[in-house]
């Protein structure tokens, strides 16, 4: 992986440093470098997101192996991963496309990408209340409304010092596995 390789369609070159960082961060999670993947496409064949949304985990692995990581960071496809872990479970070489994508999603967030879908709401919820959402009022089949109180359930336990909690989470939002 050096300057000697060029992708003629996009006029880009493999990113050696990013690749090495990726290998390092996968190592922190106990996962071997993506070089070991032998491109059998079993992950894609079983991918729950592939069936509807065209996410191809084997293709992500191939691009990562070859060092074309920026491409993956910019892609929206990686946000389609459901996290069903079928790829990691069934990979004959113990690779983990799901976790490789988590790392790259982390990188794209920390380099300024806007969180898609409901993520901003979820993150805000956790930061300010400790949970993704506040206890909801639910309806039953007869259209009656219920909540924790009316169901006789104890109050929701939250972080005791919400301020310290928020501080801790906010600080960690700026850190990555690369620093481990």
Partner 1 sequence: MNNIDKDPKIGVFLCHCGDNIADTVKIKELKKELSKNKELVVKDHLFMCSESGQNLILKTLTDENIDRVVVASCSPKHHWNIFKNCIQQKLNPHMWEMANIREQCSWVHSDKDKATKKALSLITGAINKVKHHEPIGTKEVHLNQDVLVIGAGIAGMHASLELADKNFHVYLVEKSPSIGGNMTKLGRTFPTDDCSMCTVSPIMNEVNSHPNIELMTLSEVADFSGRPGEYIATVSTKPRYVDPDKCTGCGLCTEKCPVSIPSDYELGLKETKAIHIPFDSCVPEIAVIDGDSCLKITKGKCGVCEKICPADAIEYNQKPKTRKLKMGAVIVATGYQQMDLSDTEYNYEHPDVITGLQLERMITPSGPTGGKIICPSNGQEPKVITFIQCAGSRDQRYREYCSNICCMYSVKNAKIARSKLPHAVINMCYIDLRAPGRRYEEYYRRFREADVKMIMGRPSEIMEDKNGKLYFDIFDKSTDKFLQIKPDLIVLATALEPSEGTKKMADLLHLQYGMDRFLSPLHVKIAPVDTTNEGIYIVGTAEAPKSIQACITDAASAASRTATLLKEDKSMIDLTTAEIDLEKCTKCGKCIEECNYSAITDNYEIIDIACRGCGKCTAVCPEGAIEIRHLTNNQLKAQIDGILSVDPDTIIAYVTETCGYNAADIAGTSRREYSTKVKIVKLPCVGRLSVDDMIYPFEKGAKRVMVVACPEGLCHYIDGDAAAKEKVQEAKKILDKKNIGSEKLRFVPIVSPDGIKFQKICQEEAAKIKEVSND
Partner 2 sequence: MKKLGLYLGCTIPTEQYGYEMSIREIMPEFDIELVDLENASCCGAPLKSVNLIMQMYLSARNIAICESKGLDMYAPCPQCHLSLTETKNRLRDSEKLREKIVKELMEYEGLEYKGDLNIYHTVDLFYDKIGLDVIKKKVKKPLEWNIACHYGCQTVRYSDAGRPDIAEHPSKMEEIIKVLGGETRDYSEKLNCCGAPLMITHKESALTKTGEKLKAIQDRNFDATAIVCPFGGRMLDSKQEKAGSTIGEKLDMPVFYLTQLIGLAMGKEKNKLGINLNLSSAKVLS
Residue whose token pair is 């050096």 = 2
Contacts of residue 156, Cβ cutoff 8 Å, sequence gap at least 6: 131, 135, 148
Measured distance CA(57)–CA(37) in Å, rounded? 11
Choosing among partner 1, partner 2, none, which partner's interface includes residue 33 (Cβ < 5 to 8 Å by kind)? Answer: none
Measured distance CA(18)–CA(31) in Å, rounded? 17
**Position 46 contacts partner 1 (CB under 8 A):** yes
**Position 92 contacts partner 1 (CB under 8 A):** yes
- Category of 31 on φ-ψ map: left (φ > 0), alpha (ψ -120 to 50) or beta: beta
Choosing among partner 2, partner 1, none, which partner's interface includes residue 56 (Cβ < 5 to 8 Å by kind)? Answer: partner 1
Q: Among residues 37 and 104, whose Cβ is nearest to partner 1?
A: 37
**Position 90 contacts partner 1 (CB under 8 A):** yes
Least separation in angstroms between CB 133 and partner 1: 34
Least separation in angstroms between CB 46 and partner 1: 2
Choosing among partner 1, partner 2, none, which partner's interface includes residue 92 (Cβ < 5 to 8 Å by kind)? Answer: partner 1
Measured distance CA(169)–CA(130) in Å, rounded? 10
Q: Among residues 50 and 67, whose Cβ is nearest to partner 2?
A: 50
Choosing among partner 2, partner 1, none, which partner's interface includes residue 44 (Cβ < 5 to 8 Å by kind)? Answer: partner 1
**Position 44 contacts partner 1 (CB under 8 A):** yes
Measured distance CA(100)–CA(33) in Å, rounded? 10
Residue whose token pair is 């071997």 = 32
Number of H helices, E strands in the chain: 9, 2
The footprint of partner 1 (CB under 8 A) covers 38-47, 50-51, 54, 56, 58, 86, 90, 92-94
């Amino acid at each position: 992986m050096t300057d000697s390789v060029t992708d003629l369609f996009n006029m880009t070159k493999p990113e050696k440093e990013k690749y090495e960082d990726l290998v390092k961060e996968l190592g922190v999670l106990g996962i071997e470098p993506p070089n070991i993947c032998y491109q059998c496409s079993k992950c894609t064949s079983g991918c729950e997101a592939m069936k509807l949304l065209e996410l191809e985990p084997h293709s992500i692995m191939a691009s990562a192996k070859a060092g074309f990581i920026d491409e993956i960071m910019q892609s929206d496809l990686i946000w389609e991963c459901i996290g069903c872990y079928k790829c990691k479970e069934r990979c004959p070489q113990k690779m983990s496309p799901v976790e490789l994508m988590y790392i790259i999603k982390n990188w794209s967030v920390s380099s300024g990408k806007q969180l898609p879908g409901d993520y901003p709401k979820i993150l805000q919820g956790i930061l300010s209340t400790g949970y993704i959402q506040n206890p909801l009022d639910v309806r039953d089949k007869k259209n009656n409304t219920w909540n924790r109180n009316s169901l006789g359930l104890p109050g929701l336990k939250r972080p005791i010092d919400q301020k310290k909690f928020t501080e801790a989470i906010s600080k960690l939002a700026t850190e990555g596995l690369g620093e481990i």
